[in-house]
């Protein structure tokens, strides 16, 4: 989308600019010549009429430029496509992404031109992962230089175990089966930002440890058993950060359902 929008702005802007610099003066000159000859008024009008493609370019360029500036430097909507951030974010949530929270970046290229701030542990961040060109949304767990350990469903950051508070336990039906799997919900406190809810599944996982390299971040979904994240594909690069998710502004269940504002809220 950013690439297509950038091309649209470039093409419409160039058409309008070339017309202003080259063709509009020629049309005006042709109109003046017609007025000094025996040509009819209709002929003069035809010579001075702006081509349809230029008219469209002149009309759309300011609108497209405004949208590009807003999406690139201020905010952008993003729809939650999967269950990886449940219970914090539900499938069908539309979140507002603050594009300048972590610095002003050039559209398409992603190069940071103005440093505003850095991701903090606990932030919900939108980024482009190393294995996919689509936007992903996960929680920042590890900062550059951190040592992250995941053992017995608990996170350890630089040797310190995150604090957990049990909230609830429930059953979830297994896909293509009549069986159920128990899920526990905990309030997780990483020591940065507000505590957040996470889901833990009953199946076992081997303990693993990672050291976050420079200019990189360790990302995880809050729905730990249904999140493909840094445990699978590695680290999120600083150059591929899109922005910070700051609010849920509308929700639409999949299928033919009307949008609702029942889940509107700020994200800590």
Question: Model confidence at 246, in pLDDT bands (50, 70, 90)?
Answer: very high
Q: What is the pTM of this model?
A: 0.77
Highest mean pLDDT among 48-57, 70-79, 172-181: 48-57
Among 138, 216, 230, 244, the one annotated catalytic: 138
Give whole-number Cα distances, 94 to 27, 65, 107, 199, 266, in Å.
48, 23, 21, 21, 12
Q: Cis ω on the peptide bond leading into residue 168 (within 30° of 0)?
A: no
Among 84, 216, 227, 230, the one annotated catalytic: 84
CA 2/CA 7 separation, integer angstroms: 9
Q: What is the pLDDT of residues 182-238, one digit of tens each?
A: 899 999 999 877 899 999 988 778 899 999 999 999 999 999 989 999 999 999 999
Asked if the model's pLDDT at residue 71 lies above 70, the reply is no
- Catalytic: 84? yes
CA 111/CA 216 separation, integer angstroms: 15
* CATH number for the domain running over 80-266: 2.10.109.10
> H-helix or E-strand containing 28?
helix 24-35
Q: Phi and psi of 159, rounded to 5°?
A: 85, -10
- The tokens for 122 are 């606990």
- What's the mean pLDDT in 26-41? 68
Out of 24-33, 167-176, 206-215, least confident range: 24-33
């Amino acid at each position: 989308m950013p690439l297509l929008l950038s091309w649209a702005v470039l093409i419409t802007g160039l058409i309008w600019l070339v017309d202003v610099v080259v063709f509009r003066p020629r049309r005006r000159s042709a109109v003046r010549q017609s007025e000094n000859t025996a040509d009819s008024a209709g002929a003069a009008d035809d010579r001075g009429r702006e081509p349809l493609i230029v008219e469209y370019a002149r009309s759309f360029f300011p609108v497209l430029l405004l949208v590009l500036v807003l999406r690139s430097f201020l905010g952008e909507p993003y729809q939650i496509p999967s269950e990886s951030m449940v219970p914090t974010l539900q499938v069908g949530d539309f979140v507002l992404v603050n594009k300048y929270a972590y610095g002003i970046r050039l559209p398409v290229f992603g190069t940071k031109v103005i440093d505003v701030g850095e991701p903090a542990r606990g932030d919900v961040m939108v980024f482009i992962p190393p294995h996919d060109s689509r936007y992903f949304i996960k929680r920042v767990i590890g900062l550059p230089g951190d040592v992250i350990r995941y053992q017995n469903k608990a996170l350890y950051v630089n040797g310190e175990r995150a604090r957990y508070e049990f909230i609830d336990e429930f059953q979830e039906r297994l896909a293509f089966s009549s069986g159920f799997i128990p899920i526990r919900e905990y309030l997780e406190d990483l020591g940065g930002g507000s505590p957040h809810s996470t889901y833990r599944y009953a199946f076992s996982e081997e303990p693993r440890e990672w050291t976050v390299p420079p200019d990189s971040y360790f990302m995880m979904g809050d729905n730990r058993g249904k999140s493909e994240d840094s445990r699978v594909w590695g680290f999120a690069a600083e150059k591929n950060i899109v922005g910070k998710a700051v609010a849920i502004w509308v929700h639409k269940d999949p299928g033919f359902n009307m949008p609702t504002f029942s889940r509107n809220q700020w994200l800590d």
